[in-house]
Amino acid sequence: MAAKGKPQSDVANERPAAEIPIDRVGVKGVRLPVRVLDREREHQDTIATVDMSVDLPARFRGTHMSRFVEVLYGYRDNVNYRTMAYILREMVGRFDAARAHLVIGFPYFIYKAAPASAEKSFLEVRARFIGDFVDRYSFSLGVTVPVANLCPCSKDISDAGAHSQRGDVYVELESRHIVWIEEVVAWAEEAASAPLFALLKREDEKAVTELAYGRPRFVEDVVRNVAEKLERDKRVRSYRVECTNYESIHQHDAYAAIARDKRERDKK
């Protein structure tokens, strides 16, 4: 027979000492296996890190954290922009909230062939599904793509060679219709000096090195190149593009960003 404890009260529903509404309260860093859509292979199994939050009225001292995980676990086998709408709406209902926020971040792998040998390997990119519910549902896709960039200035002033660096291109966009992670990766790689690969033979290294040397790029060039594609894509409503080069001969890094809301411009 279980020992009797003291009655369990719902402390979270008590009045707080300071009755101030909280913008976001929830859980961060929840890790779990998920299944996401894959353009080439229908789906991909990966490990996600999830942040979930809702607003909290001033009259409540706290929220019920376990409910976030309960809601999330119901959708772990089918994570996409449609199911995120259901998750957010369920969060709003379960917590009697006006706003809900959800970020699902995960490594995503693209199977790609090397440029000369055609040897195939997996490129890892970092993807994020970002969902918000405030009167209506909004969804944004974020993808961080590793690239290589060769400095135009270094090439111009040097008698031999030019310094190059690895970089990250981050693209975050809100769209009318689905934009695949693979599309974002292609845009970022085309904008940079050269793409990266997990596996390269000697002939591939030659091809990638010469490609980068023939396409020198500043971080400013990269963000402009990606933004140009996003401006032309009628699916895209708003976007943010960032490029960071992890400099090879400087102690600092180089950075550039462009953010645009095409809906605001279209109103004018």
Residues 217-226 have pLDDT tens digits of 999 999 999 9
Better-predicted residue by pLDDT, 229 or 83: 229
CB distance 188 to 226 below 8 Å:
yes
Domain boundaries, given as residue ranges, for the chain: 22-267
* DSSP 8-state symbol, 18: S
Residues 52-87 have pLDDT tens digits of 999 887 766 666 788 889 888 888 777 777 889 999
Whole-model pTM? 0.88
Nearest to 173 by CA among 163, 184, 164, 162: 184
Residue 71's φ and ψ, nearest 5 degrees, are: -65, -45
Amino acid making up residue 165 = Q
**CATH superfamily of domain region 22-267:** Urate Oxidase; (3.10.270.10)
Please state, in angstroms and rounded to a whole number, the distance separating the CA atoms of residues 191 and 36: 26
Nearest to 25 by CA among 70, 58, 55: 55
How far is CA 198 from its chain centroid? Answer: 21
Please state, in angstroms and rounded to a whole number, the distance separating the CA atoms of residues 251 and 253: 7
Residues 157-208 have pLDDT tens digits of 888 878 889 999 999 999 988 899 999 999 999 999 999 999 999 999 999 9
Residues 118-131 have pLDDT tens digits of 999 999 999 999 99
Nearest to 252 by CA among 188, 126, 157, 165: 165
Q: What 3-state class would DSSP assign to 262? A: helix
Tell me, letter by letter, the H, E, C secondary structure of 13-30.
HCCCCCCCCEEEEEEEEE
CB distance 190 to 171 below 8 Å:
no
